[in-house]
Amino acid sequence: MLKLFNSLTRKIEEFKPISPPQVGMYTCGPTVYDFAHIGNFRTYITADILHRTLLHNRYKVKFVMNITDVGHLTGDNVGDADTGEDRMEKSAKKQGKSAWDIAKFYTDAFLKDYRQLNLLAPSVLCRATDHIKEQIVFVQELEKKGFTYKTSDGIYFDTSKFPDYGKLSNLDDIQEGARVEANPEKKNLRDFALWKFTYPNGRSFNSAQDDNASRRQMEWESPWGIGFPGWHIECSAMSVKYLGDNFDIHAGGMDLASTHHPNEIAQTEAITGRQFVKHWMHAAFILVDGKRMSKSMGNNYTLSDLTEKGFDPAALRYLYLQTHYRKELNFTFDALEASQNALTKLKEEIATFKKPRIGCAEYEERFLEAINDDLNMPQALAVLWELIKSDYPTGAKAESVARMDEVFGLNLFEVAHTVEIPETVQKLIQEREQLRREKRFHLADGLRHKIRKMGFDLRDENKKTIVSRLLPSDK
Ligand code: AMP
Ligand code: ZN
């Protein structure tokens, strides 16, 4: 029985899908104005572990993730998100590219990292800009039901008309923690934009009074005038389109529980009159020196920052698995290096196993218990290590490890592929092996030293040479 913490009820609950064995799951994806950082990826790794755990429990998962490529303003995720500049347009100006090129470039970069981290592909990956029509229809529905009002800069949702507003939120008041002043035209502090105007009241560009530089690259006609969708509406419109208006799981980072997700709930349930999502899941933040990792703080690392230093993307996965997803985790390179070393050790051990056969039911049961206990991955890792160290025959261990790795996603059987060895180094390794066979150990050691200087470490185990990439502190 799978048990999960539900942020909506603030309790650990038994997970019961609406129409088993189908499970509908949605995760708020990246805003593609810059590279995603490894903090963002904690949220996606958490969603991936949940996805894999559901599959392990034999559910059929339809997993939808969006790409936010318009409408996410520089405002504040925990404060007034409806003020400031569109992150996409801002990045386009800064880099002298079109907003569309920025969206394409950072979407591709995100997906590259996503694959490198071995995250299961979504069944549907949907872009906000491909769903403008659906978002307009959504706002029209809200308008018909009397939930909207107009200000000079857009169409807003009136939260006072939705008595249940904020039941998910971890903020009592929007001002708490906010960096920006709220818009004085809003009727209530927590009202939010559904559609924003490019120019006041939705009028068009006027060459006599408007500066060309003020023109938006991403804007659309709507029943209210030229503009673009508010940040929250895309997730409601797209999740309802692909998963229906009542589905199982919605995931995201902890900051989204304050404003973005309560807004998704309000605008969707205002239309349907019934529960939007049964189960809400939020991953806690990755911190650096005790402060949240974020682009605005400038304390963020990307996956390439790690791989350029010689780390394997799976080491980051391993590091994140060691802490429960509802606990904050302070990122350090020392911890990453320890994870890399543990992973290498694990893989080397597994590489010596015989062909998989049968499996160890006892350990597989304990593993299932751990993952089904609100994704207790630290415990699941402990079970894995215990199994590795147990007296079971290695063929049985191999079978169970393979099953567990379907959830860990660490590619534990891929020892050889984790280290890409340049041809020059490969040749030196072969020469060294030959020298060792000829018992010319002194010369062999010389080569080993040379290879080390090229960034690779060699160890001799069971008549095999094990190659690993040196980490920065080893050099
Ligand atoms: P964004 O690209 O800013 O829309 O964020 C993408 C996802 O990453 C959202 O679900 C955020 O809540 C999440 N996120 C942002 N910063 C962090 C962090 N430091 N740790 C964990 N998740 C984060
Ligand atoms: Zn969202």
Q: Worst-scoring range by mean pLDDT, 155-159, 295-299, 402-406? A: 295-299
| Ligand 2 mean position, distance from CA 203 (Å) | 28
- Separation CA 329–CA 320 (nearest Å): 8
Over range 7-28, report the average pLDDT.
Answer: 97
Radius of gyration of the chain (CA): 26
pLDDT average, residue stretch 207-219: 82
H/E segment holding residue 307: helix 303-308
Element (H, E) at 452: helix 441-453
Alpha-carbon distance of 167 to 265, in angstroms, equals 9
**Ligand 1 nearest-atom number relative to CA 251:** 10
Identify the pLDDT of residue 184.
Answer: 86
At residue 171 the predicted structure's pLDDT band, cuts being 50, 70 and 90, is confident
CATH topology of domain 3-283: Rossmann fold (3.40.50)
Q: Which atom of ligand 1 is nearest to the CA of 253?
A: 12
Closest C-alpha residue for ligand 1 atom 2: 30
Arithmetic mean of pLDDT, 44-70? 97
Is residue 182 a contact partner of residue 174, using CB atoms and an 8 Å limit?
yes
69 lines ligand 1 (CB under 6 A): no
> CA angle, corner 404, sides to 399 and 408, nearest 5?
140
Check if the beta carbon of residue 109 is closer than 8 Å to that of residue 305: no
**Cα 462 to Cα 348: distance, rounded to the nearest angstrom:** 11
In this predicted model, which residue has the larger pLDDT, 233 or 215?
233
Q: How far apart are CA 28 and CA 46, in angstroms?
A: 12
Model pLDDT, residue 206: 85
DSSP states of 356-388: --S--HHHHHHHHHHHTBT--HHHHHHHHHHHH
262 lines ligand 1 (CB under 6 A): no
pLDDT digits (tens, 9 = 90+) for 404-459: 999 999 999 886 445 567 888 889 999 999 999 898 988 999 999 998 888 887 87
State in Å: Cα 438 to ligand 1 middle: 56
Q: Give the per-residue pLDDT at 415.
A: 65
Question: Which atom of ligand 1 approaches the CA of 68 most closely?
Answer: 4
Ligand closest to Cα of 237 equals 2
Model pLDDT, residue 417: 42
Mean pLDDT across 328-355: 94
Per CATH, which fold does 294-408 belong to? Answer: Four Helix Bundle (Hemerythrin (Met), subunit A) (1.20.120)
Mean pLDDT throughout 105-114? 96
- Please list all protein residues whose beta carbon sits less than 5 angstroms from ligand 2, which is an ion: 28, 235
Q: Pairing mode, if any, of strands 247-253 and 286-288?
A: unpaired
Q: Is 152 exposed, middle or buried (0-12, 13-18, 19+ CB in 10 A)?
A: exposed
Q: What spacing in Å lies between the alpha carbon of 76 and ligand 1's midpoint?
A: 13
At residue 452, the pLDDT reads 87
Using alpha carbons, select from 46, 61, 64 the residue that is nearest to residue 5: 46
What pLDDT does residue 402 have?
Answer: 95
- 411 Cα–ligand 1 center, Å: 25
> 55: Cβ–Cβ under 8 A, 6 or more apart, which residues?
61, 406
Question: Closest by alpha carbon to 296, among 22, 7, 75?
Answer: 75
Q: Which ligand does the CA of 325 lie closest to?
A: 1
Cα 194 to averaged position of ligand 2 atoms, centre (Å): 13
Per-residue pLDDT at 319:
98
CA distance 64 to 441: 57
Q: How far is the CA of 179 from the centre of ligand 2 (A)?
A: 21
Question: What digits encode the pLDDT tens for the residues 305-340?
Answer: 999 999 999 999 999 999 999 999 999 999 999 999
**C-beta 283 within 6 A of ligand 1:** yes
Longest dimension (CA), the chain: 87
Evaluate if residue 229 carries a pLDDT over 60.
yes
Tell me: cis bond preceding 472? Omega within 30 of 0 counts. Answer: no
Please give the pLDDT value at position 70: 82
Distance 441 CA to ligand 2 centre (A): 61
What ranges do the domains of the chain cover? 3-283, 294-408, 423-474
Cβ of residue 294 lying under 6 Å from some atom of ligand 1: yes
- How far apart, in whole angstroms, are the C-alpha atoms of residue 97 and residue 213? 14
* 39 ligand 1 Cβ < 6 A: yes
Q: Quick check: CB of 251 below 6 Å from ligand 1?
A: no
Q: How far apart are CA 259 and CA 279, in angstroms?
A: 17
User: Is 70 exceeded by the pLDDT of residue 77?
Assistant: no
Question: 255: Cβ below 6 Å to ligand 1?
Answer: yes
State residue 247 phi and psi, 5-degree precision.
-130, 180
Cβ-count burial 249-268 (b if 16+ within 10 Å, e if not): bbbbbbbbbbbbbbbbbbbb
Check if the beta carbon of residue 311 is closer than 8 Å to that of residue 336.
yes
pLDDT at 159 over 80: yes
3-state secondary structure of 393: coil
* Distance from C-alpha of 272 to C-alpha of 240, rounded to nearest angstrom: 11
Instruction: For ligand 1, say whether the CB of 106 is within 6 Å of any of its atoms.
Output: no
**71 in ligand 1 pocket by Cβ < 6 Å?**
no
**254 CA closest ligand 1 atom index:** 12
Q: Is 463 exposed, middle or buried (0-12, 13-18, 19+ CB in 10 A)?
A: exposed
Question: Average per-residue pLDDT in the chain?
Answer: 91
Domains 3-283 and 294-408 share a fold: no
* pLDDT band, very low/low/confident/very high, at 97 (cuts 50, 70, 90): confident
